[in-house]
Amino acid sequence: MKFDMHCHTKAGSIDAKVPLDRYMEILKEKGFDGMLITDHDSYKGYRRWFMSGGGMRAAAKKFTVLCGIEYDTRDAGHFIVIMPGGIMPPVLRLRGMSAKKLISVVHMLGGVLGPAHPFGTRSASAMFFRKFKKNPQLMEKMDFVEGFNTCESREANMLAVELAKKYGKPCLGGSDSHEERYIGMAYTEVEGRISCNNDLIKAIREGRITDFGGQVREQTAKAKHKEAFYSVWGFKAYNRSLGFIFSPLRKIRSLRGHH
């Protein structure tokens, strides 16, 4: 089955422009069998779509919609997180957890995770943070690596693949698309039938990712702006400050259950 494993929806990510049903339509036209929603620190897009009957619409089109999240840590950039079906921990909706804590929460609840665009934009990519440089053993605790991201350079994607090979991790490919023109520009192929999050988690653990790749998009002015010194350090400071601000609330929410 062919999936786009990095998708941002209009209802779930503030910087995305495509409704989920339109996402499905475009991907199906391009020969995809499914998608993984990875909205920023939010399950809102998936929940809103599902409550409006999205699950039945997807079933009618024989298209699999999986629910993930792109989590912003305070000390190691962004991670793609995939939890078992029905498990949407409140703590994942509050950005700024440490990478170490995120790994612990995700694995304790039966989920998997991996660095998104590990050599991409410096303000959001694990391998440019001191945490991963000082603690390379953290990579051993990853379940996969995003080996191809349409938004990143060929060099960044090649380094991601080398990183995955070094630690024996499978690679996923995703478009990281926020606009229609980039949807489906990257793919992941999975052996076997994938109909839910649990199927995907099992496939990743069993090494049934058979292929990944895609097309790198043109570099935009927005991308260049993200690499500027003021953007990189400003974003790092922003995430770190939110991490401390949300810390007490995160503890409260974690006591309310995982669903």
Q: Note the pLDDT of residue 223.
A: 52
Domain count, the chain: 1
* Residue 242 structural domain: 2-254
**Among 147, 123, 161, 133, which residue's Cα sits nearest to residue 238?**
123
Residue 163 inside a domain? The answer is: yes
**Among 170, 175, 210, which residue's Cα sits nearest to residue 192?**
210
- What is the C-alpha to C-alpha distance for residues 114 and 130, in angstroms, rounded to an integer? 17
Q: Note the pLDDT of residue 133.
A: 86
Residue 259 inside a domain? The answer is: no
pTM value is: 0.86
Q: Note the pLDDT of residue 255.
A: 44
Residue 149 inside a domain? The answer is: yes
Question: Per residue in 99-140, pLDDT tens?
Answer: 999 999 999 999 999 999 999 988 899 999 989 889 989 999
Which long-range contacts (C-beta less than 8 Å, at least 24 apart) are formed by 19-25? 20/45, 20/46, 20/49, 20/54, 20/65, 21/49, 21/54, 21/57, 22/180, 23/183, 24/57, 24/58, 24/61, 24/63, 24/65
Mapping DSSP to helix (H, G, I), strand (E, B) and coil, where does residue 161 land?
helix
Residue 58 inside a domain? The answer is: yes
CATH classification of the domain holding 213: 3.20.20.140
Residue 133 inside a domain? The answer is: yes
Residue 32 inside a domain? The answer is: yes
Residue 158 inside a domain? The answer is: yes
Residues of the chain with pLDDT under 70: 219-259
Residue 202 inside a domain? The answer is: yes
Host H or E run for residue 66: strand 64-72
